Structure 1
């Protein structure tokens, strides 16, 4: 029986840095274009690579490496600009439709798995429910209708909180604890369940949740609840997903070597230019420099790691070495985070969609040994892509390699949307908050249990209990001193009344009152 070829397929490539994602995208595009006589286009899904210039620090593919294949959503943002997931998905979906309209095959590739996940699946991510994301359905900007729940919460705000709500900052504060706590307190008042997800110092996420409410007219909790009612998110397009995976023991030395190569290619010069760009933008816009460093291109690994070295006069070789090690450490940490997101968030959602008969397939490709990359990554991906587009049956994913057989069975089921809200809930310690005069929050579970067992918390708890015990010696002494002061005041007043009109000199009365003050510690 002849299978029906897919008319609107999507191929996606994900994985950590350093596994050859960009190279595979180009190889696939060239092979599919030549074999199927269909147009191909690559769509970038790496947040840092959306910025123009700064090619070394963002690990952009070079024009020569692109080999003539069109690359989209790469280098189109200016340093200092921000790009949100809603805007990127809007643009990516538009490009996918355009490529499909010409009979082509879009290939999406990048290391920002968060973006890929919400592109592949039609999730009800709160930030996608704003007016910024409404164009995904072609509706454009529409008037926001506020939910009764949010309207009631806003009507109960204090005057100061209402003023903050009406004039929300566009950029999260950096090194401004007072504003960060005010924003978190506002989120607590409007959406207490979602507020428990974020530490008050995580001002960017707190502010984003507030903007989601302002732009959508609903609390994020309400949007998650609606997603719960609608069930498992389904794929936007029939999709074939490749997860390029390398064992950490082989990947980490490779990442160290990459950092060394970036330095030889001019990484430091690029960071210096970034610092100059940031200083210029700060002067032109009035934005705080440290705040700018927490967003956009300035979050690239290497920028803050070499800050001490580039700020030292004269340049310190020891600080340079520290910058190199810090950059290597951050790069390896980023790779671990990418794997964690794919394993714990993206893959469970994709597999749930597949289990609900959604048109999406995922294959793990072993990119551990670069000498075998062509055989175990490129050729396997080309073969699977040809079968997928032709509508032919695909093999069992665990059968491709030992790595696939080890990885795939360990993946957990996707949590429900409401379970996501409850996960990593932050608990506020009222006792330590009172003693330190700043909000003390801990993740529920192990971190919270460790805190309450800690010496500092136990000492503060004991001090609070003593302070509230009326029979505690400290309170008894305070009460005695207060009563002594009251007696002294009463005696002073009685003495003053007794000497009125008696002809005594005022000076003698003042000396007597002073002596009383000395006696009772009232001076």
Structure 2
């Protein structure tokens, strides 16, 4: 069977569906959530504990320290190698996640534009001068699609997008391939919920993370270098807790900003994924969700 990708907004139940599919079709999981690359970032990323993985092999989890930068290009190469090795073993790769650029790079073989150290340095200096929010606003003005896809807290990717726009004279997404047949003939299944219901799920998810010790997890990761991690320190939840701690609080006040930021990110994910006509969408509330997904795979 060809690979399957389970994608969609945060909080829709992608991991649970992917795990059930992997059980039914003899699959292995390939993670496509960029923040789950990081060792120790477990509670705030809703990373499935090893004991709950039902003995199914998982790839692209816990592959980076929090001081390292996540890279779309690195992921594309290493995840593609995982998929081809899984297929060579006669198993089914089940890609799961909601990191938009990472998924597109993998399934559409994104060819990444060259970089220019001088241009990059100039935009990094601009970031230091005006701050990440203002630079994100600049990106949104010159490239609305990139602004919609990249979090306003992700300074590194904002800089990269502005660098590409300057070097190519085209929008950042113009370097992406045209949507066609997905690599390996992958079947793409999208999972979503009605907005009000998903908002409730996100609120519950946020409350659970804080109850389960997100603040304590962040404090522990500070000792591992979280503050110096360009990518990890800006992850949803982690960035908000760090900001509250830096303001002299105990981190608990980060709960509401985390929920608001997550809800805003979900809107971006939904807009991005809905543009892809190849996605077979399922309602996360469907009682026969796994069977519905299996029927898609059988077509």
TM-score class, shorter: 0.7 to 0.9
**Structure-2 residue corresponding to 1:306:** 241
Closer/same/farther in 2, CA of residues 80 and 246 from structure 1, 3 Å limit = same
Q: Which of these two proteins has the greater Rg computed from alpha carbons? A: 1
Closer/same/farther in 2, CA of residues 203 and 241 from structure 1, 3 Å limit = closer
**Total equivalences in the alignment:** 286
Distance 2:126 2:222 in 1: 17
Distance 1:94 1:67 in 2: 23
Closer/same/farther in 2, CA of residues 175 and 277 from structure 1, 3 Å limit = farther
Closer/same/farther in 2, CA of residues 197 and 104 from structure 1, 3 Å limit = same
**Structure-1 residue corresponding to 2:257:** 326
Unaligned 5+ residue runs, structure 2?
A: 136-140
Of 28, 31, 39 in structure 1, the residue corresponding to residue 21 of structure 2 is 28
Closer/same/farther in 2, CA of residues 304 and 178 from structure 1, 3 Å limit = closer
Closer/same/farther in 2, CA of residues 382 and 64 from structure 1, 3 Å limit = farther
**Structure-2 residue corresponding to 1:220:** 168
Matched-pair contact (CA < 8 Å) for 2:127–2:159:
no
**Structure-2 residue corresponding to 1:197:** 143
Distance 1:383 1:28 in 2: 11
Distance 2:128 2:122 in 1: 15
- TM-score w.r.t. the length of structure 1 is 0.48
Matched-pair contact (CA < 8 Å) for 2:35–2:41:
no
Q: Does 1:380 align with 2:292?
A: yes
Closer/same/farther in 2, CA of residues 45 and 179 from structure 1, 3 Å limit = closer
Q: Does 1:112 align with 2:86?
A: no
**Structure-2 residue corresponding to 1:177:** 129
- TM-score w.r.t. the length of structure 2 is 0.81
Distance 2:41 2:174 in 1: 41
Distance 1:206 1:308 in 2: 20
Unaligned 5+ residue runs, structure 1?
A: 1-5, 34-39, 132-149, 151-163, 184-194, 280-288, 352-360, 388-393, 395-523
Closer/same/farther in 2, CA of residues 104 and 171 from structure 1, 3 Å limit = farther
**Structure-1 residue corresponding to 2:31:** 44
> Shift in Å at residue 113 of structure 1?
2.0
Closer/same/farther in 2, CA of residues 55 and 170 from structure 1, 3 Å limit = farther
Distance 2:244 2:178 in 1: 51
Deviant stretches of 4+, over 3 Å:
168-175, 195-199, 201-207, 209-213, 221-228, 230-234
Closer/same/farther in 2, CA of residues 205 and 58 from structure 1, 3 Å limit = closer
**Superposed CA RMSD:** 3.7
